[in-house]
Amino acid sequence: MTCVDPIVQTSVLFGGSIGMAIIFGLYIARMISYEMRPLEKPLARVEKGFFRLVGIDVNRQMTWKEYLFALVFTDGIVMVFIFIIFLIQGMLPTATPGLKGLSIDLAFNTAASFITNTDLQHYAGDQQLSILTQMIAITFVMFVAPASAMAAGFAFIRAFIRKNFGLGNFYVDFTRNILTLLLPVSFVSSLFLIYMGVPQTLNSSVTIDKTLEGHNQSFTIGPVGSLESIKMLGHNGGGFFGANSAHPFENPNGFTNIYETFLILIIPLAFPIAYAKLVGRGRGIAILIAMLIGFGIMFAIALTAQSGPKGLETRFGSFGTLLFTISSIATNTGATNSLLGGLSPNAVISLFLGMFVQAIPGAAGVGMMTMIVYVLLTLFIVGLMVGKTPEYMSMKISPKDIKLAVFIFLLHPTLILIPTVTAFTTGNAQGVLGREVQGQKITPFGYTQALYEYTSAAANNGSDYLGTSANTPFWNWSTGLVMLLGRFVPLGLMLGIAGSFTAKDRKEVIEPIKTEGPLFISVLVIMTFLLTALTFFPFIIIGPFSMLGS
Amino acid sequence: MKIVDMIKKEMRFDKNDKGQNAISAVSSNTSNKKKPSTIDRKVIQDSVTKLDPRYLAKNNAVMFTVEVGFIVVFIIALFPNISTEFVQFSSAFYFEIAVILIITVWFATFSESLSEAQARARVDSLRSLEKEVSARKIVNEKEVVVNSKSLKPGDEVKVYAGETIPRDGLVIKGKAFVDESMMTGESNPVFKEKDDHVIGGTRIASDNILVEITAEAGRSFLDEMVGLIESASRPKTKNEIALTMLLAGLSLIFIIVVGGLLFLIHYLGYSGDIATLIALLVALMPTTIGGLLPAIGVAGVTRIGRDNIVAKSGKGIEAAGDCDVLILDKTGTITEGSRSAIKFIPLQMYTEQDTGQAAFAASIHDNTHEGKSIIDLSEEKRFIPPLMEKILAARPIEFSADTGYSGIDFIPAKKTALTNEQQEEFAFISKLESENGNGNGIAGADNHHHVNCKVSSMLLELDKFNKEVQVLKGSVDNILALTRKANARVNEAEVRWKAQEVSKDGGTPLAVSINNEIIGLVVLKDNLKENIRQKLDEVRATGITTVMITGDNKLTAQVIAKEANVDQVMAEAKPTDKLVRVQEEQSKGHVIGMVGDGTNDAPALAKADIGLAMNSGTAAAKEAANMVDLDSDPSKILRVVKLGKQLLITRGAITTFSIANDVAKYFAIIPAMIMKSTNNAHLESLNIMHLHSPDTAILSTLIFNAIIIPALIPLSLRGVKFKPEPPQKTFIRNMLIYGLGGVALPFVGIKVIDLLLSVFMR
Amino acid sequence: MKVEDNDDNMLRIARGRTMKILEKIQSQFTPNNISPSIKVIILMLIVTGIAYPLILVAIGQNIFPFQSNGSIVTFNGKAIGSKLIAQEFNSPKFFHSRPASDSASGLDPHITPTRAFSQISNISKASGIPENTLRTLVELNIERNKNSNLLAFAPDHVNVLELNMELVRQYNQVYSDVVQTSNNNTLHSGR
């Protein structure tokens, strides 16, 4: 029985999410290429109303720079808006008396965290945010952040399918992503989750005068259902409650656990399917399989050691916890249904791996783009090895593309290691690690926590060990900055690559090494892991790897 | 005829052997010098100069970093008391590390110097062609012997047979044969007269000319070529730039990694020894490819130079690797430059002998290879026409593009006066006749042995009546047109049918007529170049499509294409079709390689991605192409393609190898770094190599890292072996050798070095 | 590449480039660019931040009022807690949840069957309820949880609150001293 359950869970989860990803992928492909979607007429009517209200010229195409600017500018305004809301939430109507605004550094951190799709939480949502803030700041930005990233992904893919036509219109993509994809799916999913036991109310707390044994009990509640679905679907991961998806109100039972995992996986897996539809079935499927292999490797590493039961929720068990957590970290959702401290060091290593690679399958849009950057680097080596100027889909990979790609891969370790070093040398890490600091020495576990914090921030993941204990100015400002850089710099560089590719000549020439099939997939997977492993090997060794023996 | 040929052949041999020696009048000829030993003092000197950090900072970031590491470790070795936290080993250990580091850098600069020396040697050998020679400058209408160096444009020099033309110039007086073989590879002396251009360094074979110097010193054709070779090694190609970026990025990543370790590691209770960390950094950085990258690029140009091809830039060579369509001229590339007669096909009324005799007569003044081959075939078959003396003395009808035929025209009664040469030939042919007892000789009127031969009797009869005789050969269409014009009787259908049969077999038919009566057809057949089929098969195996361009008709072209195994044929092509085809293929995304020599090839050569011009070709062609083959062998483009691929593969292979090495290096150094200060049993499991001690682990890793550079110098100079096969196969093989091998080899190498070191360091 | 040979040059170029980029960014701040951004944001805020959660609240409160309000279970007409949230049990007659710090949320009322079975003998001693009965009740609870998770989607576990409520319902005499409510009242569960 114990053996059957995991098999059933895994097959239902992957069967379901891949099946759904195919439907969504085909739909996304139509969004990318502006083809007729199912229900085109009503959808178009709704959209048109919006476009008219906003004053968007649907046919206006943007260059990569315009697209990037529109994205950064829109996200920037939202960030400023939610930053202000966090500061002044106590003064807004409907706030519970006594509720204060967040401190400036925490407000900055939280605003940066949510707009970058990271959702690193140095606050406890159930204690520090009002219901209104949870709605107009948190839930709202949970739509904005993934819609922006997906839009960037659309623009990126367009660069490969059409020449010098522009990369699309950010406002159109952004609006369509929310109105015709995220919102309807979230709506239905919320209803399901509410049915399963997730609360949806405007009350902020429930007080029980007398429990069964006669104690006084009170707990926080609120519009959790509406937040929970978009939290998963949009790879946000920021919980309504501090306990995130471990909280019974966010994730009431084993079935919601699988359903939430399913929501996490749909869109990242749909992107390669859309890609398959647009640039060739084999190519997209190769990327999908490479992602799944990477995911499988993560999962296999995590399963090599027993996690829990301490720190895990009984209703999910060890397997359900890992399934949820690995999926969530691999997609940079960052939601957790357990304490990270409850996971085995092996599982933690696999979480690091997911955040280092960022593309197995990675967050919506971003994961796909990152994977294609890996593809470009792989093809560069492959091209040299067969004696041809490297090309992808018969588009030559120029030194500029390699430069941008190298920057992307250089940025990640920089954003992780420099702040980690700073945190330790300034004593700020020691300040929050508590008993993991033994005199001058820090335990591998303590070091792992600090490294994890910045890795999560740089990868826009959002899971963390430290939680509210990292609510200090240093950690708030530093992780906030890392999240912003980790989000918008790679996004800019990737759109730069898109801009470079959209200008390239594309012709039907046979590729020397097909960018599909087992050979290519295995080379891609090896390259991806090798690049990552070579960069982070020593840090894993002195961190989670050492936790095992100590 | 044959004798002239033989004499010419003799001359050719002579020239090939001694030609180069003959050029230089003043200084000794270095081209015959023994190959310079590859490692000479200059290389060593140069490689040491290149250790200058400023040079490295500019040109080789990876090696610069290693050198900075050397300086840091060296300072620590001198002052080991600087720090207790970051300095944990004995002073001797730091000296050892420092020495290994600087040797690593030197290995890299040495490989670069070595490859440059090879390139220089190639330049020098070319330079030796143009030397200071003495020249007879005309001053006040007198010849004054001066050094060629002092000549300026506008000077006039007189050059006699056997002397070397001092510099590029224009003939202003006189006619002469000039031997340009050392420049162009073309063995026949070239006839030059007034207003012809002559090249400095070439030699007058006969007669003398007055030359006006047009080039300034150092600006001659040769100098331009030398300049090309020298500059070819300088600008980086796109792939090189991209690879440099990747390597720089990897290096920066590792600098951040090691920097991170430097600051973090002691918080976890490990010793952050600075030399260990520098060793880790140097080991991780792609020093192997970083050290060898300059050498690989230069070696590519040198290797192509060794094939006697001058590349105007490294770009062209690299583009050659990308080439996937090769447009090849049939003539000269796939087939020998000329066709040979292989068969005579008579028309119904005539015999083979008739056709042969008529063809012989028509070709007697045809100096082309085709003409000679007809004579050879006739002689071989003993189809010698009568009236040889008269035929030899007949008026030649030169081939022209308008008429499309050539032949002879003689009025038999006219008194014949043979030149010396013709007499020699006449004697030779007579001898041939008599030797074979084929008759009583052809001279004189006694010719009855020809009676059963219709053409013989026809000629004799015409001679008898003192009628004009015109023997012509030409393309079937042209000759037919001629007969039609003259209203001569002809079975046109038969001619055409027979011509078509010839075409079907890949031959080219020529019609032969006497006084507008067609006697028969001569079948000319293209001679495929030696091994061309095998070469083209190799090209196809690498996924390159070959296109043959020819003016031949479709039938003939297809037969040859099939014989040579060419993929596509462009028959009945006009010269301008080449450019059209190049553009067409490029618009489909193909990378085109082509060969050309004519001025009308120039646009196509310029447009093609790899344009290889024949040195025997026109200046325009050479200008337009990005490579010039000094040997004027069109099939060399295949070598260029192979070389281009090799160049990229070598870079890719060594990069992969370099990166793959890091795996083992981590497993050598990380345990050395942390094992000392921990008793964590789980970490012990990392020490899979069981090296002797942390000291030997670090030293052996660095030693391995250093010696792998010189070990791979031969590979980078020679290039990774390239087999003609599908790219997939190449990739898998190279991945196994350089990827998997790159992972495995350092495990073995470091372990072996460690074992050796442990003997000394016990 | 040639230009990059010179460090000074590189710096100058880098500076020049940065200035150019800044200028370019500045030039992007035109009403044409800014107004759609702001309008889109305002619209989305209304749709996703206000309308979406409120509509769901409306639907949830009407169709799934029990779940929407936190799955509050009532006893004797009075709410005694959420069936999803653990509550404090001090009496030895009750099954006990895990210590709060042992689980991730600290709020889950669930324990493993092993843990439940291991408590049986003590509870039996304290309450006088036969061990067999307790075992049966635990097994029933496991079965119930299993069914509500479609058999395969959760490991076997016990909901301590529901189990204890069941105990009170069946043995209200035994628990009359602990549960300070009238014995006559029955225990309701919302569903």
- The values of phi and psi at residue C110, to 5°, are -100, 145
Cβ distance A442 to B268 less than 8 Å, yes or no, reads yes
At A515, list the tokens: 């960018």
Report the residue from C72, C153, C168 with minimal CB separation from A255: C153
Out of B527, B552, B574, a domain closes at B527
- Cα–Cα distances (Å) from B374 to A241, B364, B408, in that order, read 100, 9, 15
- Shortest Cα distance from B74 to chain C (angstroms)? 26
* Domain end among B602, B630, B658: B630
Q: Is the Cβ pair A507, B589 closer than 8 Å? A: yes
Helix, strand, or coil (residue A421)? helix
- In a mutagenesis test of the B interface, which of A374, A378, A380, A385 is the best target, namely the one with the most B β-carbons within 10 Å? A385
Co-location of B265 and B349 in the same domain: no
Closest CA to A326 of A301, A306, A309, A308: A301
Give the strand pairing for B197-198 and B169-173.
antiparallel
Could you tell me which chain C residue has the CA closest to the CA of A4? C152
CB-count burial class (<10 Å; 0-12, 13-18, 19+) for C188: middle
* Helix, strand, coil fractions of chain B, as percent rounded to 5: 55, 15, 30
How far apart are alpha carbons B536 and B566 in whole angstroms? Answer: 7
B8 pLDDT tier (thresholds 50, 70, 90):
very low
Q: Identify the DSSP state of B139.
A: E
Mean per-residue pLDDT for B325-337?
Answer: 78
Reported residue count of chain B is: 762
Provide the pLDDT confidence category of residue C4 given band limits of 50, 70 and 90. Answer: very low
**CATH for B601:** 3.40.50.1000
pLDDT confidence bin for B129, thresholds 50/70/90: low
Nearest residue in chain A measured CA to CA from B643:
A387
Q: Report residue C76 as tokens.
A: 């004797």
C86 and C155 assigned to the same domain: yes
**For B151-163, how does the pLDDT look when each residue is reduced to its tens digit (9 = 90+)?**
888 888 888 888 8
Which band of pLDDT confidence, cut at 50, 70 and 90, is reported for residue B233?
very low
> Is residue C49 less than 8 Å (CB to CB) from chain A?
yes
- pLDDT top residue among B447 and B406: B406
Mean pLDDT of chain A: 92
Is the Cα dihedral B349, B351, B355, B357 positive or negative?
A: negative
Report, as residue numbers or ranges, the catalytic residues of B.
329
C121 and C35 in a single domain? The answer is no
Number of residues assigned to chain A: 550
Residues of chain A neighbouring B241 (CB-CB closer than 8 A): 399
Q: Structure tokens of A300? A: 């296999």
Model confidence pLDDT, tens digit, residues A329-348: 999 999 999 999 999 999 99
Q: Which helix (H) or strand (E) holds B176?
A: strand B176-179
Does a cis peptide bond (omega within 30 degrees of 0) precede residue A361? yes
Same domain assignment for residues B60 and B190: no
Which residues on chain B are in Cβ contact (under 8 Å) with C1? Answer: 235-236, 241
B179 inside domain:
yes
Residue C32: partners with Cβ closer than 8 Å, 6 or more residues away: none
Surface-to-core class of residue C153, CB atoms within 10 Å of its CB (0-12 exposed, 13-18 middle, 19+ buried): buried
C-alpha–C-alpha distance, residues B18 and C78, integer Å: 119
pLDDT in tens, B254-280: 999 999 999 998 888 887 888 889 999
Give A201's contacts in chain C (Cβ within 8 Å): 57, 60-61, 68-70
Q: Residues C104, C134: one domain?
A: yes
Which is it for strands B325-329 and B203-207: parallel, antiparallel or unpaired?
A: unpaired
Minimal Cα distance from B61: which residue of C? C5
Chain B residue closest in CA terms to A517: B728
DSSP string, C6-39: -HHHHHHHHHHHHHHHHHHHHHH--HHHHHHHHH
pLDDT at C155 over 50: yes
Place A257 in a pLDDT band, splitting at 50, 70 and 90.
very high
The neighbours of chain B, by the rule of 3 or more Cβ pairs under 8 Å, are: A, C
Whether A390 shows a pLDDT value over 50: the answer reads yes
Mean pLDDT for the stretch of residues B37-46 = 75
- Looking at the fold, whether B165 and B276 belong to one and the same domain comes out as no
CA distances, A508 to each of A166, A392, A394, A427 (Å)? 21, 11, 7, 58
Query: Which residues on chain C are in Cβ contact (under 8 Å) with B58?
Result: 5
Q: Do C116 and C156 reside in the same domain of the chain? A: yes
Interchain contact C102–A (C-beta under 8 A): yes
Q: Which residues contact B364 (CB under 8 A, 6 or more apart)?
A: B1, B375, B391, B392, B394, B408
| Rounded-to-integer distance, Cα B296 and Cα B285, Å | 18
**C107 and C35 co-located in one domain:** no
Q: Is C176 among the domain residues?
A: no
Considering only CA atoms, which of A432, A440, A418 is closest in space to residue A475?
A432
pLDDT at res. C28: 67
- Asked if A471 and A401 count as a contact pair (C-beta separation under 8 A), the reply is no
Residue of chain B minimizing CA distance to A404: B245
Are residues B675 and B609 part of one domain? no
Contact A206 C72 (CB under 8 A): yes
> Which DSSP category does B68 fall into?
H
Looking at residue B323, its amino acid is C
Average per-residue pLDDT for chain C: 84
What does the DSSP assignment read for B198-213? Answer: E-TT-EEEEE-EEEEE
Residue A287 φ/ψ, nearest 5 degrees: -70, -40
Strand (E) or helix (H) holding B61:
helix B61-78
B421: CATH:
3.40.1110.10
C-alpha to C-alpha distance for B557 and B550, rounded to whole angstroms? 7
Query: Closest-CA residue in chain A for C69?
Result: A199
**Considering the domain boundaries, does residue C189 fall inside one?**
no
Nearest CA-CA distance, residue A550 and chain B, Å? 6
Q: What's the rounded Cα separation, in Å, for the pair B288 and B713?
A: 10
* Test mutation, C66, C67, C95, C165, chain A, max A CBs within 10 A: C67
Q: Alpha-carbon distance A136 to B264, whole Å?
A: 41
User: Domain check: are B415 and B347 in the same one?
Assistant: yes
**Is residue C16 assigned to a domain?**
yes
Is residue B674 domain-resident?
yes
C59 → chain A, closest CA residue: A191
Confidence of residue B543 (pLDDT cuts 50, 70, 90): confident
B584 found inside a domain: yes
pLDDT for res A163: 79
Mean pLDDT, residues C123-140 taken together: 93
Say which of B58, B235, B241 has its CB closest to residue C5.
Answer: B58
Bridge partners of B107, per DSSP, are none
Closest chain C residue to A258, measured at CA: C153
Instruction: Name which of A10, A65, A213, A343 to mutate to probe chain C: the one with the most chain C Cβ atoms within 10 A of its Cβ.
Output: A213
For residue B47 the two structure tokens come to 């490689």
Number of domains in chain C: 2
Residues of chain B with Cβ-Cβ distance to A383 below 8 Å are 648, 652
Q: Are A545 and A445 in contact (CB under 8 A)?
A: no
**What is the per-residue pLDDT across C133-151, written as a single tens digit (0 to 9) for each?**
999 999 999 999 888 888 8
pLDDT of residue A169 exceeding 60, the answer is yes
**CA B665 – CA B670 distance, rounded (Å):** 8
Which of C68, C46, C70 has its CA nearest to residue C57?
C68
pLDDT class of A448 with cuts at 50, 70, 90? very high
Phi, psi angles (nearest 5°) of residue A547: -60, -30
Least confident of A360-374, B437-451, C19-33, C81-95: B437-451
Q: Per the structure, how many domains does chain B have?
A: 4
C187 located within any domain = no
Lowest mean pLDDT across A249-258, A304-313, B329-338: B329-338
Residues C56 and C77 in one domain: no
pLDDT in tens, B496-523: 888 888 888 878 888 998 888 888 899 9
Residue B16 has pLDDT above 50, yes or no: no
Average pLDDT of A522-527?
94
Task: Give ∠ CA B151-B152-B155 in degrees, rounded to 5.
Answer: 80
pLDDT value at residue B217: 65
| Mean pLDDT along residues C125-135 | 93
Q: Which domain holds residue B362?
A: 336-527
Confidence of residue B539 (pLDDT cuts 50, 70, 90): confident
Percent share of chain B, pLDDT over 90: 17
In degrees rounded to 5, what are phi and psi of residue B285?
A: -60, 150
Question: Are B260 and B113 found together in one domain?
Answer: yes
Chain B touched by C8 (CB under 8 Å): no
C89 and C146 assigned to the same domain: yes
Place of tokens 């170049």: B529
DSSP secondary structure code for residue B695 in this structure: H
Q: How many CB atoms lie within 10 A of CB A426?
A: 12
Of A289 and B677, which is predicted with more confidence? Answer: A289
Do B345 and B471 lie in one domain? The reply is yes
Say how far residue B646 (Cα) sits from the centre of its chain: 15
Looking at the structure, tell me whether residues B6 and B135 fall in a common domain. Answer: yes
Residue B444 has pLDDT above 70, yes or no: no
Q: Final residue of a domain: which of B186, B219, B252? A: B219
| Top-confidence range, B428-432, B473-477, C93-97 | C93-97
Q: How far apart are CA B583 and CA B590, in angstroms?
A: 10
Residues in chain C: 191
CA distances from A167 to A161, A367, B671 (A): 10, 19, 49
Which residues lie across from B611 on neighbouring strands?
B594
Answer whether residue C137 is part of any domain.
yes
- Dist. CA B132–CA B201, nearest whole Å: 9
ipTM of model over 0.90: yes
Give the C-alpha separation, B136 to B174, whole Å: 15
Tokens coding B191 = 């006839």
Measure the CA–CA gap between B713 and A363, rounded to whole angstroms: 45
Residue A305 in contact with residue A267, Cβ under 8 Å? no
Distance from CA of A162 to the nearest CA of B (A): 16
Coil vs helix vs strand at A19: helix
Q: Are residues C123 and C52 in the same domain?
A: no
CA–CA separation, A268 and A262 (whole Å) = 11
**Which of A109-123, A236-250, A281-295, B306-320 is least confident?**
B306-320
Across-strand partners of A207?
A: A218
- Is C96 in the A-facing interface, judged by CB distances under 8 Å? no
CA distance A486 to B664: 31
Residue C85: pLDDT over 50: yes
Report the gap between the CA of A425 and the closest CA in chain C (Å).
30
Based on the domain organization, do C82 and C39 belong to the same domain?
no
The CATH number of the domain where B178 resides is what? 2.70.150.10
Task: Please count the other Cβ atoms lying within 10 Å of the Cβ belonging to residue B519.
Answer: 28
For residue B331, what is the DSSP state?
B
pLDDT digits (tens, 9 = 90+) for A9-23: 999 999 999 999 999
**Is the same domain home to C57 and C87?**
no
Find which of A142, A315, A336 to mutate to test the C interface (most C CBs within 10 Å of its CB).
A315
The tokens of B668 are what? 């050598």
- Interval B550-573: pLDDT, tens: 877 788 888 888 888 888 888 887
The pLDDT value recorded for residue A76 is 95
Judged by CB atoms within 8 Å, which residues 118-137 of C form the interface with A?
A: none
What digits encode the pLDDT tens for the residues A92-140? 877 777 788 899 999 999 999 999 999 999 998 888 899 999 999 999 9
Q: Which residues of A touch B675 (CB under 8 A)?
A: none
Give the gap in angstroms from C-alpha A473 to the nearest C-alpha of chain C: 26
Would you say B98 and B74 are in contact if contact means Cβ atoms under 8 Å apart? yes
Which partners does chain C have (≥3 C-beta pairs < 8 Å)?
A, B
| Residue B27, domain member (yes or no) | no
- Is C12 within a domain? yes
Residue B290's nearest CA partner among B437, B104, B85 is B104
Smallest Cα distance from C104 to chain B, Å: 28
Q: What angle do CA B141, B146, B150 make, to 5 degrees?
A: 105
pLDDT, residue B9, reads 41
Q: Report residue B23 as tokens.
A: 């050029």
Which of A136, A212, A306 to mutate against chain C (most C CBs within 10 Å)?
A: A212
CA B463 to CA B442: how far, in whole Å? 14
B288 belongs to a structural domain = yes
- The four Cα atoms C56, A183, A75, A67 give a dihedral, to 10 degrees, of -170
Considering the domain architecture, whether residues C79 and C163 belong to the same structural domain is answered as yes
Residue B58 to residue C1, Cβ atoms within 8 A: no
Residue pointed to by tokens 């000789």: B441
| Residue A53, CA atoms < 13 Å, CB-side half-sphere | 14
- pLDDT over 70 (residue C50): yes
Question: Could you list the residue range(s) of the whole structural domain that residue C28 is in?
Answer: 3-63
Give the full edge-to-edge strand order of the sheet including B517-528: B335-346, B517-528, B507-514, B469-475, B405-410, B395-397
Q: How distant is the Cα of C12 from the closest Cα of chain B, in angstroms?
A: 17
Q: Rounded distance, CA A429 to CA A447, Å? A: 8
- What is the per-residue burial (b if ≥16 Cβ within 10 Å, else e) of A386-409? bbbbbbbbbbbbbbbbbbbbbbbb
Which chains does chain A touch, 3 or more C-beta pairs < 8 A?
Answer: B, C
Lowest mean pLDDT among B42-46, B185-189, B391-395, B495-499: B185-189
Report pLDDT digits (tens) over B591-613: 888 887 777 777 888 888 888 88
B112 and B236 in a single domain? The answer is yes
Cβ–Cβ gap B241/C1 under 8 Å = yes
Chain B nearest CA to A283, separation (Å): 17
Residue C87 forms contact with A (CB below 8 Å): yes
